Amino acid sequence: MLTFVTFHVDSSKETAKKIYNQDNKDFRNDYNYILLINLLFRSVSIFHPNCRKVVLTDMNTRLAGLEDDIEVYRTSLDPESIMFSRLVAQFNYVKTQQIDSDIILIDSDMLVNANLEHLFEEDFSVALTYRYLEAVKDMPINGGIIFLSRDRKQEAIKFLEKVYQIYQEKYLKDYQSWWGDQYALIDAIGFDNFHSRQSDVMLVDEQKIKLLDCEIYNFSPGRNPNSIVREHKDKVILHFKGSRKKIMPLYWQAHLSNKENFNLSRLLITLKTTLSLIISWLWAKWTGENYPSINQFFITYKRDFKNWIKRAIQVY
């Protein structure tokens, strides 16, 4: 069994502006992240039906509309320091929780496109994804997905602790909201060690680090819907980072939703999720609170219902 762990906190407009000004012009905080999290974990369940699914968050973030087969782990965090808080939550969760499985720390804007259990048949403490892009040449490790081996859990915890300490000591002042985790990851490995390595398995202190190519295990399609007309069967994990988030539900509908095992349990979860979201949205309207647009949520779930009806007619 695998445990998939994602992270989400509500952030303010001021934080979004700060991240935008930190050379991340794609960042917005008005996506419906609950929909993205639901789709992430639904894609996970297609290939790992018996997995655990967990959301790490702070004490106040609203998770209305989150499907009820997803666990929630709340802890005290600073929602204005998004990337540092994510690392804090991940480290605390892995260190303090009794988890008898391999763990995958995964961004909420990803879709799993294949089974991942075979990766853990190999011997490593931590597996990370790397890319060679000129725009991020000083951050070759992407922090969006991290694989932690159950068999070397203590070594994995030590590595996360090292990344946490580097972030806190070197990057917290200037990169508390964004980028700091990726600077800390490459520092933990060693920039020169990374570029001079003889293979994609490295020994860093006592930890065995496996490197996976982003082209396969952390692939980002183009930003235009035309980039996902064709199913990316050769990509194990798709990452809809930045403005690509708007096409993540489209990829789900076009290429993954028909692989989902539809049954009464799945239908009840969808109905309860939709009802919960409607109630929360109405309450927000009543109280004047800001609430992300739910149009995409209803469009996606309406298409799910239509697909299920078609499949039911074909079967019966």
- Asked if the model's pLDDT at residue 20 lies above 60, the reply is no
pLDDT for residue 27: 53
For the chain, the average pLDDT equals 87
Task: Band the pLDDT of 313: cuts 50, 70, 90.
Answer: low
CATH of the domain at 41: 3.90.550.10
Tell if the pTM clears 0.85, that is, is over it. yes
In total, how many domains does the chain have? 1
pLDDT beyond 60 at 301: yes
Percentage of the chain beyond pLDDT 90 is 58
Per-residue pLDDT tens for 270-289?
A: 777 777 777 777 877 787 76
DSSP state of 121: G
Contact criterion met (CB below 8 Å) for 148 and 169: no
Q: Which of 97-106, 151-160, 240-249, 293-302 has the lowest mean pLDDT?
A: 293-302
Number of H helices, E strands in the chain: 11, 10
pLDDT digits (tens, 9 = 90+) for 232-247: 999 999 999 988 998 9
DSSP state letters, 295-316: HHHHHHHHHHHHHHHHHHHHH-
Least confident residue range of 45-49, 56-60, 161-165, 243-247: 243-247
Which residue has better confidence, 265 or 314?
Answer: 265
Top-ranked range on mean pLDDT: pick from 3-7, 13-17, 28-32: 3-7
Cα gap 57→39, rounded to integer Å: 18
For residue 168, is pLDDT > 50?
Answer: yes
| Three-state DSSP class for residue 203 | strand
Tell me the residue range of the domain where 169 lies.
2-315
Separation between Cα atoms, residue 164 and residue 255, nearest integer Å? 37
- Residue 120: the pLDDT is 97
From the list 63, 52, 45, the residue with the least C-alpha distance to 8 is: 63
Mean pLDDT, rounded, for 87-105: 96
